[in-house]
């Protein structure tokens, strides 16, 4: 199994108010933490960034950088296009999740090694839920999905071949009618969406 990583860092940070992937977190860029989460298990890592920052971007040795697209799915497709022919599996990770642990990454890889075509880390939903119309939703059958998400490369390329968009890659694989395996995620594998999330992430890193 030849695993490569694609770190999706192509967003403009409209909700955050800037390019959150380049913010400092405990002395390193958020992006650097996310790359480091994948490098121990990957033969190489492709980082997808906004086109305007590509020329002046400094990355760890061996990390490939490509320009992203208008949507997250466009950016993942750009990352897939940069994978070498020998890559059999890929881990797609959001740069905005800098706290992914080696244990979570290993569980995704183990599921792929066992034959899964797609594997995603999930955590229980702990909040009470309601629809926007005001109706309660039973959270018992729901989980929250995290990254990195792992796939057989040929399967993910087929899923993206439609040109469809989705908030994550597992959704596109679902549309092919294939099984997406769930593995245990980590509640601390939070997504940076607002400036205060950086302060929370720094505390979690310190405790780790």
> How far is it, in rounded angstroms, from Cα 164 to Cα 51?
21
Spatial contact of 30 and 8, defined as CB atoms under 8 Å apart: no
Q: Name the most confidently modeled range: 4-13, 56-65, 116-125.
A: 116-125
Is 16 a residue whose pLDDT tops 80?
Answer: no
Whole-model pTM? Answer: 0.95
> How far is it, in rounded angstroms, from Cα 16 to Cα 179?
33
Instruction: Please report, for the chain, the start and end positions of each structural domain, with discontinuous segments joined by +.
Output: 3-207
CATH superfamily of 3-207: Spore Coat Polysaccharide Biosynthesis Protein SpsA; Chain A (3.90.550.10)
Spatial contact of 107 and 189, defined as CB atoms under 8 Å apart: no
59: pLDDT confidence band, cut at 50, 70 and 90? Answer: very high
Nearest partner of 18 among 6, 30, 27, judged by Cα: 30
DSSP per residue, 116-152: -SEEEEEEE--S-EE-TTS-EE-GGG-EEE-S-EEEE
> Which class for 200: exposed (0-12), middle (13-18), buried (19 or more C-beta within 10 A)?
middle
208: pLDDT confidence band, cut at 50, 70 and 90? Answer: confident
Spatial contact of 48 and 80, defined as CB atoms under 8 Å apart: no
Structure tokens at 59: 């990355």
């Amino acid at each position: 199994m030849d695993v490569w990583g694609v770190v999706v860092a192509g967003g403009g940070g409209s909700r955050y108010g800037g390019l959150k992937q380049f913010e400092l977190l405990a002395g390193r860029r958020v992006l650097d933490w996310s790359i480091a989460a994948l490098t121990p298990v990957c033969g190489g890592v492709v980082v997808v960034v906004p086109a305007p920052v590509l020329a002046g971007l400094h990355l760890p040795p061996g990390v490939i950088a490509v320009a992203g697209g208008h949507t997250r799915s466009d950016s993942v497709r750009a990352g897939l296009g940069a994978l070498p022919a020998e890559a059999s599996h890929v881990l797609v990770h959001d740069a905005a999740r800098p706290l992914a642990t080696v244990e979570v990454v290993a569980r995704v890889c183990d599921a792929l090694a066992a034959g899964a075509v797609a594997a995603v880390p999930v955590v229980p939903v702990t909040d009470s839920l309601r629809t926007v119309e005001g109706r309660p939703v039973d959270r018992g059958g729901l989980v929250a999905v995290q990254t990195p998400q792992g796939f057989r490369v040929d399967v993910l390329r087929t899923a993206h071949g439609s040109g469809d968009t989705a908030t994550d890659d597992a959704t596109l694989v679902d549309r092919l009618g294939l099984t997406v395996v769930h593995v245990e995620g980590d509640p601390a594998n939070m997504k940076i969406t607002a400036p205060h999330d950086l302060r929370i992430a720094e505390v979690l890193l310190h405790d780790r």
